[in-house]
Amino acid sequence: MMQQKKDVGVKVGSNEIELVDFRILKDIGGKVYEGIYGINVAKVREIIRLPKLNILPGVPDFIEGIFDLRGVVIPVVNLAKWMEVDTGRPFDKKVRVIIAEFNNILIGFIVHEAKRIRRINWKDIEPASFAAAHDGVGVEKNKITGVTRIENNGVLLILDLESIVQELGLVQDATEVDKVASGEKFSGMTLLLDDSVTARKAMKTALKHLGFDVTEAIDGEDGFEKLEQLYNEMGEERFKEEMKLIVSDIEMPKMDGFHFASKVKKDDRFKEVPILFNSSISGTFNEEKGLEAGGDGYLVKFDPKRFYEEVSRVVKR
């Protein structure tokens, strides 16, 4: 069993990520194809052998069951089934369950093998649009957030595991922000960065319900380009008056949220715009890293009350 360490060794602003490399296998005509995937070490609590599971009725077929881990009941997802590449391959002694935390929720993911930890620079990770032609196992590209090349001409895919939390209805509705805001409306513009289409749609809904105009970006590199474009189009005076807030994810291809924030805060044109990190990575340590990178606040997706309070705080300061 591998326990997750508090400090995973990635320096703030280094634009690097550490990934647990795991494998999903598929039998096609007697030949085994191996898909290579990764999950952020910061989200991994531990990796264990497959426990005895209790079956739940009336749940999606990719939920294999639940089990008790030291007093916490954890649902277990069969990743092969969720990716729709499962061919009934039996579990063997190499099978592991990756216990991960998303949005303060623990979920187990069954994988055929957990290999190693890799450190990769985000600039070497391409967005999902590049991934479709490279996945030999056949996973849908909308379930992929990034792809990077590894040794021996291999390709590692980063899955949008966060979307499973939303599929299971474990995340509060973004429109709930209306209730906690009690009718209060803001004005001006926000820049929203998130590589997940699902998460970006939800956050855009919340921001628009609060009265903001929203410009979207898919990663830190795209976000910085959008900032420069808005600044050039609006001019300095109007930009400073109307650009109220940046809401940024952390895990993004090409340039992550921490590196993006560091770059923004070093630029005299943009340094006064408040940045709220909005991530599925929870924990005090990650919040400290966000503030160190230049963030003005750190949110875990998605608590409507907390979201409204933090937006209100940084916009009105």
Locate the domains of the chain by residue range: 2-167, 174-316
Per-residue pLDDT tens over the stretch 112-153: 999 999 999 999 998 876 544 444 445 555 678 889 999 988
Query: What pLDDT is stored for residue 140 in this prediction?
Result: 58
Q: Is the pLDDT of residue 4 over 50?
A: no
pLDDT the model gives residue 132? 46
Beta bridge partners of 97: 48, 110
22 and 113 in contact (C-beta within 8 Å)?
yes
Under DSSP, the state recorded for 254 is S
For domain 174-316, the CATH superfamily is Response regulator (3.40.50.2300)
| Confidence at residue 10, expressed as pLDDT on a 0 to 100 scale | 63
Matching fold, domains 2-167 and 174-316: no
At the second CATH level, the architecture of 2-167 is Beta Barrel (2.40)
Query: How large is the average pLDDT for residues 265-287?
Result: 89
107-139 per-residue burial string, b: 16 or more CB within 10 A, e: under 16: bbbbbbebeeebebebbbbbbbebbeeebebeb
- Position 163 confidence tier, pLDDT thresholds 50, 70, 90: confident
Structure pTM? Answer: 0.80
Residue 297: predicted pLDDT: 93
My answer on whether omega of the bond before 302 falls inside 30° of 0, hence cis, is: yes
Residue 112 per-residue DSSP state: S
For 129, residues 6+ apart whose C-beta sits below 8 A from its C-beta are 141
pLDDT tier, 286 (very low <50, low <70, confident <90, very high otherwise): confident
